[in-house]
Structures are given as structure tokens and as C-alpha cells.
Amino acid sequence: MVKLSGVLFILAAIASTNAAVLYRRAPTGGLNVTVESEQLFCSFLPKTQGETIGASESDAVPYCTQANPPNAPGATAFPDGFIKTAHFVTTDTYVQVTGTMDITKFGLDPTDGGGQYDNQGEGSPPGALCTGYEKFVNLVEPSDGIYCIRCCKNPDECDTGKSTEGCHTIIPGDYS
């Protein structure tokens, strides 16, 4: 009987671990972003236009280049003209988009140095995911008019520990 309960405990632990992994990867609606191309990607933004990025880290919402894409159900479309440029990069272990934005299209404060959204720990916002990837890091820097997002299979390639260093350091890429 002891051996059977031990086996059941191990099986329950494996099932629980696998369920957690599947949950982090499957689109759940509401807090998923996706990065698929220059034409289809998302970023978190404040739930209220004009709110600062840092103040919105706990309750931001996903915006995408199209409303409600399959891998980011419930996401809203970016306002027309908000995304000025987008540069997509894909490798075997991550995808990213870097570029420029017109902050006036979302009422962002031009003096706001920005902030970081990610799924480190509980997440910023809590429960946030990048569909199909273990980890993501997403920065929005209104004062510089730039944004960046990287979704990683290898968590080490999404550095969430240097948020104050900005897009250029955390996600090197094309910001033209």
C-alpha cells in the first residue's frame, strides 16, 4: 500500500507540473500577448490612456496589431498610427519586435521614462503570458518613443532584472 501511494504521489506531481506548463503556454484570454511577425504582435499598455507605464505594471492590458488574434484572445487593437515602425527578429529560441511609436495616439506622457511588463514571478501584470513561450519581457518607453518585446523559450534570454536599463540594453535591435 505504501508503494502504491508513493507511485500515485509521483504521478500526481508530474501531472501537476505538466498542467502548470501547459497553462503558461495556452492562450487563456485577457492577459496573453503574441509575437508572430512585423504585422502581428502585441505589447502591454496601461488600461487607461494617459496613465504612466510604471503605474500600470500591475493592471496593464494587451494591445496588438489586430484585435483579438487567436494567440492573444481578448486583446484590443493598437490605436491607428500608434505603431510607427516594427522590426521582427526570430531565432530558434526567441522572437522579438522592436520599434517606434507615436505616443500621442495613446495619450502617453512624453516625460514618462517607461517601465517593464514581464511574467517573472507572479508577472507584471499578474498572470501575463506570451503564447508559446516560457518567458517574456516587454518595455514601453514613452520619453524615447520606443517599445520592445521579446518572448523566449530559454528564460535566460529574456532578462527581466535590468528594467531600468531600457530597451536598447535588454532587447538589442532596430529602433529606427
pLDDT tens string, the chain, 176 residues long: the values are 455 444 434 434 433 333 333 333 445 557 999 999 999 999 999 999 889 999 999 999 999 999 999 999 999 999 999 999 999 999 999 999 999 999 999 999 999 999 999 999 989 999 999 999 999 999 999 999 999 999 999 999 999 988 789 999 999 999 99
What is the rounded CA–CA span in Å between residue 77 and residue 89? 21
Q: Which pLDDT belongs to residue 15?
A: 39
* 153: Cα separation from own chain's centroid: 13
Q: Which pLDDT belongs to residue 162?
A: 82
Q: Which pLDDT belongs to residue 164?
A: 82
What is the rounded CA–CA span in Å between residue 114 and residue 142? 6
- Which of 77, 102, 106, 84 lies closest to 38, judged by CA? 84
